[in-house]
Chain A
């Protein structure tokens, strides 16, 4: 049997979406970790595949992120950059913000304090 990377649903992740013109607001809630990051990555890549280019990822209810979660953002960011797309993040909790800073991801992605500011950066 392969190693079991699925965790029990103690720390689930939820994805919701809202359209704001051409910008897709993706609201990610809960934990982005080894158990959930794959689903989040697949979701973002699917939207890029469909032709979406402007993403706001609202992290207001994202409680936790580890390197698996960062990887999902990096893979999506790498896919978007050469085709003129980008991801702007907003409303990061202190501990999530710290993980972005420690890995230099705050230089790879624009991070805004609020969703309104994130949306404004696309207009």
Chain B
């Protein structure tokens, strides 16, 4: 059981009605399942269509996995802060980590037309995030990576 996430859950309940939720997780994949469930609860409360919810949770899975796997040079516990905002017509997530600078927009796009022999094994996660979202922005601020992704809801 993780204290940061529990504390965040209490905050989440109180902030759900405002249309946003902030979840703080450790850089540990074991956190993702509970994180995922909180995002689902939030989206259910706001009647986010399943399609947008599925796109968002898959994008968050890819981003979270990347951060946990590659962002840190040390073995310390770090906090990943995710804020989800819901406004009519748009579901937005802002993911902040204090790992090494990494701008996913710099990752070259995957050429999905290429045959099996020419396909790279890497880069698929970022490609999925790009494909699933309508907008993606990155900034390095205060020694933190801040990634914002947006899914339009029709």
A-to-B contact residues, CB < 8 Å: 1-8, 10-11, 33-35, 66-68, 70-71, 74-75, 77-78, 81-82, 95, 99, 102-104, 107-108
Contact = CB atoms under 8 A, between A and B. Distances in A.
Interface string B22-38: 00000111101100000
Interface stretch (B86-94, B125-133, B142-150): B125-133
B79 interface: no
A120 B19 CA distance: 51
A7 B124 contact: no
A76 to B, nearest CB: 10
Name the residue in A3, A66, A67 with the highest tally of chain B Cβ atoms < 10 Å from its Cβ. Answer: A67
Given A3-B28, A68-B125, 10 more contacts: A3-B29, A3-B69, A7-B29, A7-B32, A66-B125, A67-B62, A74-B124, A81-B117, A99-B58, A102-B131
A34 B115 contact: no
Interface residues of B, number: 30
A95 B49 CA distance: 13
Interface in B106-152: 110, 112-117, 119, 121, 124-125, 127-128, 131-132
Contacts of A34: 29, 61, 65, 69
Contacts of A35: 29
B30 A8 contact: yes
Given A5-B68, A7-B29, A11-B33, A103 B128 contact: yes
Main secondary structure of the interface of B (DSSP, over half): helix
Contacts of A8: 30, 33
A82 B54 CA distance: 35
5 contacts: A5-B68, A8-B30, A70-B124, A81-B116, A104-B114
Contacts of B110: 103-104
B121 to A, nearest CB: 6
Given A2-B75, A5-B29, A35-B29, A68 B65 contact: yes
Q: Which 9 A-B pairs have the closest CB atoms?
A: A104-B112, A67-B125, A67-B124, A102-B131, A10-B33, A4-B28, A34-B65, A5-B29, A3-B68
Contacts of B28: 3-4
Contacts of A67: 62, 65, 124-125, 127-128
Interface in B47-67: 54, 58, 61-62, 65
Nearest to A108: B116
Nearest to B77: A1
Given A81-B117, A99-B58, A5 B128 contact: no
Given A104-B113, A107-B112, A4 B125 contact: no
